């Protein structure tokens, strides 16, 4: 590795006691995989109370984790023959249904297998006239979030779509399968979101530098011990839906970052229900609809992405148990 640059320090919180050193570090860094965190730990760039530890070390309350990030040389993006579910394509834009667990663009420790790598293979023109590291990307979905994304294929399209997102002219609708059933049928969550004061990869409504975040929600289906929410974003903050659902006290099923609370320990008398609620390997969040104005043709376009199989299986199972009741 090259010389380090960029430092941060944080203290292990009670809720993180017992977690693996590398896993906690990856969760606290922006765009960092567990394997990359482990490599940093093994190289001595990340320490606990000034001491080097193994990546598998289980952290303790009050320990101080210090990190000195290395400078990584920028490597050219490589086109890769990754299968993409294309919903629409023309000379200016391409709309895809992003699967999980696909990362949108390369980051330290994760420089292949991303959506950008697949797009460069499918659309070679992206490599020549757009942003070097994030060609054509005007918005993102988390690695484990599925659904509709639009990507620009030309500079004119990139500039116009970027303006539409910035000026909140794009309609983004999601489906979220959450723990519990809200008391109200619908609501508005208006809580600012910013970087967590301790965990840099985590967002929080208690951040001292939070930015405006507005989420509209309504109950689409009620199950036993769970609900399907239809959600519309009015702003586009990082992890916005996940953070706001947690703030609503109805975290998304399978969310290992923001869903750590009473619902994870809750026991249900029906073993099938218990198994279903604990079965997700990722957050059950899907970008269902995306509506925007075509950047060149100037006509409104709306795209819908099919609900992924793993989410549909859980919804079907919950519906079956609920109907029996």
Global confidence as pTM: 0.76
Q: State the pLDDT at residue 193.
A: 92
pLDDT at residue 202, as a whole number: 82
User: In this predicted structure, what is the pLDDT of residue 129?
Assistant: 46
With a cut of 70, list the residues of the chain below it in pLDDT.
1-7, 30-33, 69-75, 108-109, 127-133, 200-201, 261-266, 325
For 136-175, the pLDDT digits (tens) are 899 999 999 999 999 999 889 989 999 999 899 999 999 9
Last residue of a domain, one of 166, 193, 221: 166
DSSP symbols for 257-302: TT--SHHHH---SSHHHHHHHH--SS--EEEEEEEEE-TTT--EEE
Residue 69 near residue 28 (C-beta atoms within 8 A): no
Q: Domain of 103: which CATH number?
A: 3.30.2350.10
Q: Do both 273 and 247 map to the same domain?
A: yes
Residue 149 three-state SS? strand
Residues 105 and 228 in one domain: no
Residue 4, pLDDT score = 38
Quote the domain boundaries for residue 34.
4-70
Per DSSP, the three-state class of 59 is coil
Q: Are residues 320 and 210 in the same domain?
A: yes
**Domain match, 17 and 155 both:** no
Give the model's pLDDT for residue 246: 94
Q: How far is CA 305 from the centre of its chain?
A: 17
Q: Based on the domain organization, do 122 and 265 belong to the same domain? A: no
Active site residue 142: yes
* 180 and 123 fall within a common domain: no
Report how many domains make up the chain: 3
The span from the CA of 215 to the CA of 234, in Å, is 6
Asked if residue 114 belongs to a domain, the reply is yes
Q: pLDDT value at position 141? A: 94
Task: Check whether residue 106 and residue 123 sit in a common domain.
Answer: yes
If asked whether residues 224 and 319 sit together in one domain, one would say yes
Last residue of a domain, one of 16, 35, 70: 70
Say which of 16, 22, 111, 142 is annotated catalytic: 142
Q: Do residues 276 and 201 share a domain? A: yes
Percentages helix, strand, coil for the chain (3-state, rounded to 5) are: 25, 30, 45
Verify that 44 and 11 share a domain, yes or no: yes
In a domain, 304, yes or no: no
Instruction: Output the pLDDT for position 131.
Output: 44
Same domain, 253 and 208: yes
Please report the pLDDT score of residue 262 as a whole number: 60
């Amino acid at each position: 590795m090259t010389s380090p640059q960029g430092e941060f320090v944080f203290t292990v919180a009670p809720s993180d006691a017992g977690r693996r050193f590398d896993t906690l570090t990856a969760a606290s860094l922006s765009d960092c995989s567990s394997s990359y965190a482990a490599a940093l730990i093994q190289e001595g760039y990340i320490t606990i109370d000034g001491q080097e530890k193994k990546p598998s070390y289980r952290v303790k309350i009050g320990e101080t984790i210090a990190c000195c990030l290395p400078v990584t040389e920028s490597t050219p993006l490589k086109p890769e023959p990754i299968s993409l579910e294309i919903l629409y394509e023309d000379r200016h834009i391409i709309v895809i249904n992003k699967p999980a667990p696909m990362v949108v663009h390369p980051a330290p420790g994760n420089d292949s297998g991303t959506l950008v790598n697949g797009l460069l293979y499918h659309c070679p023109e992206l490599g020549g006239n757009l942003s070097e590291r994030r060609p054509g990307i005007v918005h993102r979905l988390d690695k484990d979030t599925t659904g509709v994304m639009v990507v620009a294929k030309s500079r004119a399209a990139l500039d116009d779509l970027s303006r539409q997102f910035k000026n909140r002219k794009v309609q983004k609708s999601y489906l979220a399968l959450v723990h519990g059933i809200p008391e109200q049928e619908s609501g508005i969550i208006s809580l600012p979101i910013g970087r967590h004061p301790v965990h840099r990869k985590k967002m929080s409504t208690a951040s001292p530098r939070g930015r405006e975040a507005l989420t509209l929600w309504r109950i689409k289906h009620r199950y036993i011990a769970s609900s399907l929410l239809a959600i519309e974003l009015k702003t586009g903050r990082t992890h916005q839906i996940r953070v706001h659902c947690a703030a609503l006290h109805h975290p998304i099923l399978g969310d290992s970052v923001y869903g750590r609370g009473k619902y994870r320990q809750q026991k249900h008398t029906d073993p099938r229900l218990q198994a279903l609620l604990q079965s997700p390997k990722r957050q059950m969040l899907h970008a269902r609809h995306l509506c925007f104005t075509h950047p060149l043709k100037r006509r409104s376009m709306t795209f819908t992405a099919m609900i992924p199989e793993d989410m549909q299986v859980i919804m079907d199972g919950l519906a079956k148990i609920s109907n029996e009741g």
